[in-house]
Amino acid sequence: ELVITEEVRRRGIPTVEVLAACVKRIWGPFYRGWLVTQQLDGGEDLWTAVRDGLVRQAGANAVFNAVAGSLQALHREGIYHRDLNLKNILVRQESDAVRGYIIDFDRALLFLGEVPPIMVQRNLDRLLRSVNKLDPRGQYLSPNDWKSFVDSYHGRKADEP
C-alpha cells in the first residue's frame, strides 16, 4: 500500500501523504500493516459530504465534478482501486474549487497504460454498490445524482445523451 500510494502521488493523483508505515508479522507470510498519513485539513469522506457536508455548501455539481475528475485521472494514469467506495474518497473546499482525493490503495493494481474500460466499469459499479449500501432509499444520492456523476466522469454535460 505504501508503494502504490507513493506511486499514485508521483503520477499526480490527489491523495494523502504517507508519513510512516509499520508492519507486524503475525505468522508465516501473514502480517498486519498500518500507514500513518497526513491529515487532510478540512477534508471529509464523500459519504459525509453528501449526507451533511460539503455538498450543501459547494453544491452537488462541484463535488461530483471534482470526484469524477480525480477518478478519471486515476484510471488514465493506470491505477485500479479494488475497494472504491464513498469512504475512500475525500473531498474538501480549497481556495479555488472543490478537490477530490482518493485514499486506501492496499488492494490497488497498477497498469502501464490506462485502466482497461471493463475494469473502469467495475470501479464505477463498485462505487455504485457503496452508494446503494449506505443510502439504500436514495435519500441523499438519487439515481439522477448518480447519472450526473457518471456523465461528469465520461465528460458529458447534463443535457447530452
More confident residue, 74 or 106: 74
The predicted model scores a pTM of: 0.87
Instruction: Classify residue 130 as left (phi > 0), alpha (psi -120 to 50) or beta.
Output: alpha
Residues 103-129, mean pLDDT to the nearest whole number: 94
pLDDT in tens, 6-45: 889 899 999 988 888 778 888 888 878 777 778 889 999 9
Q: How confident is the model at residue 81 (pLDDT cuts 50, 70, 90)?
A: very high
Burial of 159 (0-12, 13-18, 19+ CB in 10 A): exposed
Q: What pLDDT, on a 0 to 100 scale, did the predictor assign at position 158? A: 52
* Residue among 84, 38, 85, 94 nearest 63 (CA): 94
| Averaged pLDDT, 62-76 | 95
How large is the average pLDDT for residues 132-155?
93
* DSSP label at residue 42: T
DSSP string of 90-135, one letter each residue: EEEE-SSSEEEEE---TT-EE-SSSPPHHHHHHHHHHHHHHHHHH-
User: Mean pLDDT, to the nearest integer, of 55-59?
Assistant: 87
Residue 160 confidence (pLDDT): 47
Contact status, residue 4 vs residue 107, Cβ threshold 8 Å = no
**Percentage of residues of the chain with pLDDT beyond 70:** 97
User: Which pLDDT value is given to residue 52?
Assistant: 87
Cell of 99: 478537490
Residues with Cβ within 8 Å of 97's Cβ and at least 6 positions away in sequence, in order, are 62, 66
In this predicted structure, the answer to whether residue 111 has a pLDDT above a threshold of 60 is: yes
**Mean confidence (pLDDT) of the chain:** 90
